[in-house]
Amino acid sequence: MTRAEVLDLVRRVLRAEFELDGPEIEEHTHLVDDLDLDSVDAVALSVRLEEEADLALTEEELKTMRTVGDVVSVVHGRLGR
């Protein structure tokens, strides 16, 4: 899966899981500051991504995710392993 495809996946999950209908979700979009997600939402996001991409994210990886780009990087990196 290419990085662009992972970004599309993350966008789809964010829109579906959190009913985001506002501004465009870009790699620089901050999960907390821009999308108003909290720690419970972060867990829901990771569970949905794990289901969609058939992978398991570690707690350490989850702690690094601050922006949409961070999420894309982690998922893309895991899919490349």
Query: Which residues does the chain have with pLDDT short of 50?
Result: none
Domain ranges in the chain are 3-74
Task: Using the CB atoms, write b or e for 25-47: b if 16+ within 10 Å.
Answer: beeebebeeebebeeebbeebbe
**What CA–CA distance (Å, rounded) separates 71 from 67?**
7
* CATH annotation of 3-74: 1.10.1200.10
CB 66 within 8 A of CB 32: yes
For residue 2, give the 3-state DSSP assignment: coil
Q: What is the pLDDT of residue 8?
A: 94
Q: What is the pLDDT of residue 81?
A: 64
Q: What is the pLDDT of residue 71?
A: 97
Q: DSSP label at 68? A: H
Global pTM value: 0.92
**What CA–CA distance (Å, rounded) separates 53 from 35?**
22
